[in-house]
């Protein structure tokens, strides 16, 4: 199946962030109608104005994905504005960089709420409307940490593994409603993500400035949506790591553990 993006009615959560802005811009360029959602109203309004100036049909709908009433309002506002829903892009997320031993239950719960419970409960609200949509799909933006748990990313890895697992289960379940489920597994992206982390206490060198551009990732995500690709690993280092881990899992774990020991040696 080839999915046409022109005229599609889309909810994009996490629209104000680096990857979200690039996605919103690319979707508008492709002719989709986009409900821009995240918590920060000013950023959404500024983005919506810029996209409207470029001819886009967009609305700004401030939403905290962790709040049930916000999730409900987002879906209702989108239905009122566009008359239906075809695509749900679960792109909101938060990171936390540091070892589990020094972390807290509060951080663990926040990461799980934003990266897992929020998107899946938003999907629950959106699902009855997606079922009536045109070539409908749920697109979950996970991470390479959702396919390989990484040290200093314990809560984040767990939240993205959970999202990937839920996506796999949904794929079988949603098929009978003709709603596709696509998983995106990006590597490091130069999006400003690191400025919003809950903790920044890891020790490895993480050169986010050398990561792929959000516009490149957005292009790959749109390509995956058009081609209806079940899972897309994007970014050369993510592809390399996941490939190596697949064929040499014990060696991968040994190399990772050795690096951590060196970094944390007194």
Give the residue, chosen from 3, 5, 9, 18, that forms a contact with ligand NAP under the rule CB under 6 A: 18
- What the block records as the tokens of 35 is 């409900």
Give how many residues touch ligand NAP by CB under 6 A.
Answer: 31
* Closest CA relative to residue 115, chosen from 137, 85, 134, 143: 143
- The answer to whether residue 156 is catalytic is yes
Give the residue, chosen from 3, 5, 10, 16, that forms a contact with ligand NAP under the rule CB under 6 A: 16
* Closest CA relative to residue 161, chosen from 136, 135, 181, 183: 183
Tell the smallest beta-carbon distance from residue 70 to ligand NAP (Å): 8
Judged by CB under 6 A, does residue 93 bind ligand NAP?
yes
**How many CA atoms does the CB half-sphere of 255 hold within 13 Å?**
8
**With 0-12 CB in 10 A as exposed, 13-18 as middle and 19+ as buried, what is 125?**
middle
Among 11-19, 99-107, 166-174, 175-183, which window interacts with ligand NAP (CB under 6 A)? Answer: 11-19
**Per-residue string for binding with ligand NAP, 140-179, x by CB under 6 A?**
-x-x------------------------------------
- What the block records as the tokens of 68 is 């049930």
Q: Is 23 helix (H, G, I), strand (E, B) or coil?
A: helix
Q: Residue 84: left if φ>0, alpha if ψ -120 to 50, beta else—which one?
A: left
Judged by CB under 6 A, does residue 94 bind ligand NAP?
yes
* Active site residue ranges: 156
Point out which residues bind ligand NAP (CB under 6 A). 13-20, 38-40, 43, 63-66, 91-94, 114, 141, 143, 186, 188-189, 191-193, 196, 211
């Amino acid at each position: 199946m080839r999915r046409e993006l022109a005229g599609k009615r889309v909810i994009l959560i996490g629209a104000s962030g680096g990857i979200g802005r690039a996605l919103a811009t690319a979707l508008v360029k492709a002719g989709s109608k986009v409900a821009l959602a995240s918590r920060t109203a000013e950023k959404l309004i500024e983005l919506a104005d810029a996209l409207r100036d470029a001819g886009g049909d967009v609305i700004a709908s401030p939403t905290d994905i962790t709040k049930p009433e916000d999730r409900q309002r987002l879906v209702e506002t989108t239905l009122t504005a566009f008359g239906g829903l075809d695509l749900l892009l679960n792109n909101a997320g938060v990171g936390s960089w540091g070892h589990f031993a020094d972390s807290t239950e509060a951080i663990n719960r926040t990461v799980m709420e934003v990266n897992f419970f929020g998107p899946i409960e938003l999907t629950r609200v959106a699902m009855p409307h997606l079922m009536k949509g045109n070539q409908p799909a749920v697109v979950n933006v996970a991470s390479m940490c959702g396919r390989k748990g990484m040290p200093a990313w314990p809560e984040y890895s767990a939240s993205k593994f959970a999202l990937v697992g839920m996506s796999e289960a949904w794929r079988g379940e949603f098929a009978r409603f003709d709603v596709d489920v696509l998983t995106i597994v990006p590597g490091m992206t130069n999006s400003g993500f690191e400025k919003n982390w809950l903790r920044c206490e890891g020790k490895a060198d993480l050169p986010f400035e050398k990561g792929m551009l959000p516009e490149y990732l957005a292009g790959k995500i749109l390509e995956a949506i058009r081609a209806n690709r079940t899972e897309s690993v994007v970014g050369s280092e993510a592809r390399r790591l996941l490939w190596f881990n697949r064929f040499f899992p014990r060696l991968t774990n040994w190399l990772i553990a050795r690096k951590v020991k060196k970094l944390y040696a007194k």
